[in-house]
């Protein structure tokens, strides 16, 4: 074989491999670049972080490296790691990259399962891209990544745990342990991660392999989950003297019951009479009024939400026991809010506005400036036109409506009933998505940012529901001309 022939063969081999790569992943690569471009545009339009009510607490915990009594502070640890940059642009850049990484994980999992099912070369890439679209292009997802909030990190950790468990048909104990550790980190980021452990354990025991086969991975998940949670509780104990994740979890449950509690039915003891709900201000949900307005009973209690946590929990349990039907009604109502066609103003007008890209620059409040200045040395929230206007227009038109999420979950459930392939890989993301919708409605209140972490898992469940399972004895189809190596390569061999 001459050197000319060898060079020609190597060139053909490179072209052939690049062609196969383009066929397999070109669609997703294009989508990923477009999604990256949208996030660059968001940073150009809003060259700093957007603020939420919880942002001050997260930054304070990051600066003092001390867990907050109000909410888990895993996100604050990430902020502390990024503190040397002294830049909110660095923070939102990392969060945008985390959002893109979430889409990449979804794509990789669906592509892997579709490829294993011997689909056409372009089909796995198309299906994987479709599943990743809500994460990559939903404007509210992009805006959430721009907020100083824990939700983007939490979503990444939960999706990563699900991907690890579903990567192989039967998760090993090592994979289960890795997934458990990820869920433990998610729980240290947002308290809603704690009940997700029960969902994973239930899924392991519902799988067809049987009870004995589920024991080892279940133990691995639980033990690995307990490690980061235990370390966080130890950190909390050193700071506050209590082995806990927070000291306000019962106050949020109290806020949930403020939506229906009737003291004439509950008949609470005299010490709890102050928790009887008052009339809520207009356009504000009762849970929000009970926790965050001047009418909150915690405004009159020494120690605030921390000091009133135990009594608030006692009142909440009494309300649920006395009015179980009313409790079930408000939980169902607020769960179904996630599937509305149009967004409604809830839980308050100012909270609702935080999920929209702002139209004008706003100065930092004194509370915000107190933690922002030592962290990033900034004193404002600039808005750069025309890029900010382009993002606002994009947000008006490109987002997944609530009915779209409902369609994804319904499609996944229908696929489980109708399909012939293994159902266990669909059941896990479906159950996790449903839990992320129901648990906040049952323990706190409805909020649109609580819905977004459920979307990628709902899309994943829908995508996996219609993939056929592996067929061990299925003959390998003859490769098409586009998949065969060039003639020169055959001659070179």
Burial bucket for residue 294 (CB in 10 Å: 0-12, 13-18, 19+):
exposed
Cα 14 from chain centroid?
39
Highest mean pLDDT among 15-24, 404-413, 465-474 belongs to 404-413
5 pLDDT band, cuts 50/70/90, is low
Nearest C-alpha neighbor of 19 from the set 477, 478, 484, 476: 484
Residue identified by tokens 């209690």 is 301
DSSP 364: P
Neighbours of 155 (CB within 10 A): 27
Nearest C-alpha neighbor of 270 from the set 311, 320, 304: 311
The kind and range of the H/E element at 277 are none
- Phi/psi for 147 (5° steps) reads -90, 150
Q: How far apart are CA 368 and CA 56, in angstroms?
A: 6
Q: Which of 130-134, 383-387, 398-402, 481-485 has the lowest mean pLDDT?
A: 481-485
Q: How far apart are CA 316 and CA 320, in angstroms?
A: 6
477 pLDDT band, cuts 50/70/90, is very low
DSSP 191: G
Residue with more model confidence, 468 or 148: 148
Q: Does the pLDDT value for residue 183 go beyond 60?
A: yes
Contact criterion met (CB below 8 Å) for 422 and 209:
no
What local confidence, expressed as pLDDT, does residue 346 receive?
93
Nearest C-alpha neighbor of 230 from the set 250, 220, 244: 244
SS3 category, 363: strand
Distances (CA, A) of 128 to 115, 168, 204, 333, 423: 10, 17, 25, 33, 18
Q: What is the mean pLDDT of residues 166-194?
A: 96
Q: Omega into 347 within 30° of 0, i.e. cis?
A: yes
Q: Which of 94-103, 132-141, 246-255, 324-333 has the lowest mean pLDDT?
A: 246-255
What local confidence, expressed as pLDDT, does residue 489 receive?
41
What local confidence, expressed as pLDDT, does residue 7 receive?
56
Buried b (16+ CB within 10 A) or exposed e, 62-84: bbeebbbbbbbbbbbbbbbebbe
Q: Does the pLDDT value for residue 452 go beyond 90?
A: yes
Contact criterion met (CB below 8 Å) for 319 and 261:
yes
In sequence order, what DSSP letters do the residues of 284-313 get, joined into one string?
Answer: S-HHHHHHHSTT-GGGGSTTHHHHTHHHHH
473 pLDDT band, cuts 50/70/90, is very low
Distances (CA, A) of 248 to 17, 81, 412: 57, 26, 36
pLDDT tens by residue, 258-285: 999 999 999 999 999 999 988 777 889 9
What local confidence, expressed as pLDDT, does residue 157 receive?
98
What local confidence, expressed as pLDDT, does residue 161 receive?
98
pLDDT tens by residue, 45-81: 999 999 999 999 999 999 999 999 999 999 999 999 9
pLDDT tens by residue, 114-128: 887 666 667 888 999
363 pLDDT band, cuts 50/70/90, is confident
Cα 203 from chain centroid?
19
According to DSSP, the β-strands at 362-363 and 380-381 are antiparallel
SS3 category, 147: strand
Nearest C-alpha neighbor of 287 from the set 310, 319, 264: 319
Which residues have a Cβ under 8 Å from the Cβ of 376 and sit 6 or more positions away? 48, 86, 87, 88, 91
Written as six digits, the tokens of 424 are: 């266990």
What local confidence, expressed as pLDDT, does residue 208 receive?
61
- The whole-chain average pLDDT of the chain stands at 89
Contact criterion met (CB below 8 Å) for 258 and 288:
no
Q: How far apart are CA 210 and CA 214, in angstroms?
A: 7
Nearest C-alpha neighbor of 188 from the set 75, 334, 74, 59: 74
Which residues have a Cβ under 8 Å from the Cβ of 53 and sit 6 or more positions away? 292, 351, 354
Distances (CA, A) of 119 to 106, 423, 424: 18, 19, 20
Q: Which of 74-88, 283-297, 367-381 has the lowest mean pLDDT?
A: 367-381
Q: Which of 22-36, 207-221, 312-326, 392-406 has the lowest mean pLDDT?
A: 207-221
Distances (CA, A) of 39 to 43, 44, 222, 394: 6, 9, 37, 12
Residue identified by tokens 């839980």 is 347
What local confidence, expressed as pLDDT, does residue 490 receive?
41
Determine the straight-line distance between the first and last CA of the chain, rounded to whole angstroms.
Answer: 10
Please list the alpha-helical segments (H only) found in 66-172: 74-82, 88-116, 123-137, 139-145, 151-166
């Amino acid at each position: 074989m001459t050197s000319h022939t060898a060079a020609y063969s190597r060139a053909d081999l490179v072209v052939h491999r690049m062609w196969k790569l383009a066929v397999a992943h070109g669609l997703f690569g294009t989508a990923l670049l477009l999604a990256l471009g949208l996030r660059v545009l968001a940073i150009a339009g809003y060259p700093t972080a957007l603020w939420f009510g919880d942002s001050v607490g997260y930054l304070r915990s990051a600066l003092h490296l001390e867990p907050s009594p109000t909410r888990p502070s895993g996100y604050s640890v990430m902020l502390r790691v990024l503190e040397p940059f002294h830049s909110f642009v660095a923070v939102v850049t990392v969060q945008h990259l985390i959002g893109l990484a979430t889409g990449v994980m979804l794509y990789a999992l669906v592509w892997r399962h579709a490829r294993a099912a011997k689909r056409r070369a372009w089909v796995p890439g198309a299906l994987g891209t479709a599943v990743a679209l809500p994460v990559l292009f939903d404007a509210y997802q992009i805006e959430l990544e721009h907020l100083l909030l824990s939700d983007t990190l939490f979503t990444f950790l939960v999706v990563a745990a699900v991907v690890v468990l579903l990567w192989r048909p039967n998760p090993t104990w090592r994979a289960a342990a890795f997934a458990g550790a990820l869920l433990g980190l998610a729980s240290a980021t947002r308290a809603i991660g704690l009940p997700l452990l029960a969902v994973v354990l239930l899924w392991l025991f519902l799988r067809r392999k049987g009870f004995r086969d589920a024991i080892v991975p279940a133990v691995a998940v639980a033990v690995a989950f307990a490690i980061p949670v235990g370390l966080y509780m130890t950190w909390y104990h050193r700071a506050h003297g209590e082995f806990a994740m927070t000291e306000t979890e019962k106050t949020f449950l109290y806020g949930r019951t403020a939506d229906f509690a009737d003291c004439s039915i509950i008949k609470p003891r005299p010490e709890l009479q102050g928790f009887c709900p008052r009339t809520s201000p207009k356009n504000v949900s009762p849970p929000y009024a009970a926790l965050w307005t001047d009418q909150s009973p915690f405004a009159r209690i020494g120690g605030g939400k921390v000091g009133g946590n135990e009594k608030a929990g006692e009142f909440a349990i009494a309300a649920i026991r006395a009015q179980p039907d009313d409790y079930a009604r408000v939980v169902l109502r607020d769960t179904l809010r996630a599937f509305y066609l149009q967004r409604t103003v809830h839980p308050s007008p100012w909270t609702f506005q935080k999920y929209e890209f702002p139209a004008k620059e706003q100065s930092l409040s004194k509370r915000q400036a107190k933690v922002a200045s030592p962290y990033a040395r900034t004193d404002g929230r600039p808005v750069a036109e025309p890029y900010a206007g382009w993002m606002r227009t994009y947000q008006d038109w490109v987002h997944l409506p609530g009915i779209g999420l409902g369609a994804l979950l319904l499609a996944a459930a229908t696929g489980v009933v109708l399909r012939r392939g293994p159902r266990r890989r669909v059941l896990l993301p479906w159950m996790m998505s449903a839990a992320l919708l129901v648990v906040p409605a049952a323990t706190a209140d409805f909020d649109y940012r609580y819905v977004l972490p459920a979307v990628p898992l709902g899309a994943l469940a829908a995508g996996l529901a219609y993939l056929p399972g592996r067929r061990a004895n299925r003959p390998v189809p003859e490769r098409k001309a586009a998949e065969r190596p060039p003639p020169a390569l055959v001659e070179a061999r």
